[in-house]
Amino acid sequence: MPTPVIEVRGLTKHFGNIVALQDVSMTLMAGEVHCLLGDNGAGKSTLIRTLAGNNRPTAGEILFQGKPVAFRSPADALDLGIATVYQDLGLVPLMSVMRNFFMGREPVIDCVLFKLFRKSEARRIAREEMMKIGIDVRDVEQPIGTMSGGERQSLAIARAVYFGARVLILDEPTSALGVRQTSMVLRYVARLRNEGIGIIFITHNVRHAYAIGDRFTVLNRGRTPGTFTRAEKTRDELEEMMAGGREMADLTEHLSHDALEHL
């Protein structure tokens, strides 16, 4: 069996008396989209912040390509090629597409007393990388706020890949997008999977997860019942396993019963 690019074993995270994660295990293979499903408060954010180096686990371990790792900061995770794209994307609306693409990592020429920004090279790279993901930016110096939500999401992902991401952790990448923009992002994620990048796709939207995911791990109040493939669980079954799935089913039945009583 190939070695997982990331393996989580018995990960536990406490904040004082609050148990955010308890004995969570999962693996991510290269060239796989592994969807992490859970309702609000299920522990998704705590898990990704731990994988990204923001939190230190209370117990358990994280392995990268079969070797245990201990992240002291997000920089340690980035050095290994683990990049996280959060919901806010880390973009500055009034800055240009080009500046947002590099965000402090612009190509420069080192001079004796200063660094000289290689603007023409930065323009070329930004335009070429955007074209690779199917976005034709007329002017890479236009404010990024002029781009659609799907284009901004794709840019944030493309930026991470360009700077060496081997693992992408995507935090609710489609939560604020319409149907067309969601399709753009999911197609791009599928392409990156085919290029061998391992992707952890965090979402509470089972429909989006089922469209792109290879395997699914459900979180419910900090615990997980396991990891499943499409052959093992239907979309409805995954939704039932998430926090809120049973509650919504009970609510639907209750409302239907009330409606019949008023007929």
Find out whether 96 and 143 touch, Cβ atoms under 8 Å. Answer: yes
Predicted pLDDT at 151: 87
What pLDDT does 201 receive?
Answer: 95
Q: Are 225 and 59 in contact (CB under 8 A)?
A: no
Taking the CA atoms of the chain, what radius of gyration do you get in angstroms? 21
Range of the domain at 36: 6-92+166-261
Q: Which one, of 135, 140, 138, 139, lies nearest residue 153 by Cα?
A: 135
Do the domain assignments include residue 190? yes
Residue 184 backbone dihedrals phi, psi, to 5 degrees: -60, -45
Query: What are the tokens at 261?
Result: 């009583």
Query: How many domains is the chain built from?
Result: 1
The pLDDT value recorded for residue 258 is: 61
155 occurs within a structural domain? no
**Of residues 9, 21, 5, 2, the one with CA closest to residue 62:** 9
Using DSSP bridges, classify how beta strands 6-15 and 18-28 pair: parallel, antiparallel or unpaired.
Answer: antiparallel
Q: Is residue 227 situated within a structural domain?
A: yes
* Tally of residues, the chain: 263
Per-run averaged pLDDT (10 residues), the chain, 263 residues: 91 92 94 92 89 93 94 92 86 88 81 78 89 83 87 89 92 86 90 94 91 93 90 88 62 62 58
pLDDT digits (tens, 9 = 90+) for 41-50: 888 889 999 9
CATH number at residue 235: 3.40.50.300
**Three-class SS of residue 91?**
coil
Tell me, what's the pLDDT at 259? Answer: 56
- Any domain includes 122: no
Confirm whether 64 is domain-assigned: yes
Supply the pLDDT for residue 28: 96
- CA dihedral 28→242→202→4, nearest 10 degrees, is 0
Asked if the structure places residue 154 within a domain, the reply is no
Asked if 10 and 68 count as a contact pair (C-beta separation under 8 A), the reply is no
Please check whether residue 84 lies inside any domain of the structure. Answer: yes
Handedness of CA 45, 48, 148, 192 (dihedral sign): negative
In order, the DSSP letters of 221-240 are: TTB---EEETTT--HHHHHH
Q: Each residue of 146-182: pLDDT tens digit?
A: 888 888 888 899 989 999 899 999 998 888 788 888 8
> Could you tell me if 30 and 48 are in contact, meaning their C-beta atoms sit under 8 angstroms apart?
no
Q: What is the DSSP letter of 52?
A: T
- Would you say residue 36 lies in a domain? yes
Name the residue among 227, 16, 190, 81 with its Cα closest to residue 173.
190
- Cα separation of 235 and 48, whole Å? 23
